[in-house]
Amino acid sequence: MKFIADSMLGRLAKWLRILGYDTVYFKSGSDSELVFESIRQGRIILTGDRNISRNVPLRIIFVKSDCYTEQLMQIIKELNLKPEQNNFFKRCSVCNCLLNNISREKIKRLVPEYVYETQTEFSNCPECGRIYWRGTHTDRIFELLKRICV
């Protein structure tokens, strides 16, 4: 399942990516451009704009809340999604690309020394170059996901 989130839903887009869903964040552009991209890429539109959700005969979800955890719960419930842990942290939370595993040796000078010494697995985004590892922030993310019933 692929999504395109409008400019009001950047945080939701990030969290869907963390769960492993292919989610484009449409930061700027007109409503017609958003609709065109959703058709071209075969994506479900996620929007906080009632006007778009009323006037377009496409798969559109009007996101009701301003709170990203409630937004995430709404999408999971409405689409009956079953996020699987083995898909978590497979996409760049910034640019949506699939991550690549990378050896420790290649990132030694790119991460803090403590991170290098305490972590064994790393991945990177081939598009934006961001490096990821499973630190204490990962535990906090899993706790949040448990609280919202994922």
Mind listing the pLDDT tens digit for each residue in 50-80?
877 566 667 899 999 999 999 999 999 999 9
Q: So where are the chain's domains? A: 2-84, 100-147
Instruction: Look up the pTM and report it.
Output: 0.91
Q: Which CATH number fits domain 2-84: 2.30.40, 3.90.79, 3.40.50, 2.60.40?
A: 3.40.50
Q: What is the pLDDT of residue 57?
A: 63
* 134 φ/ψ sector (left φ>0, alpha ψ -120 to 50, else beta): beta
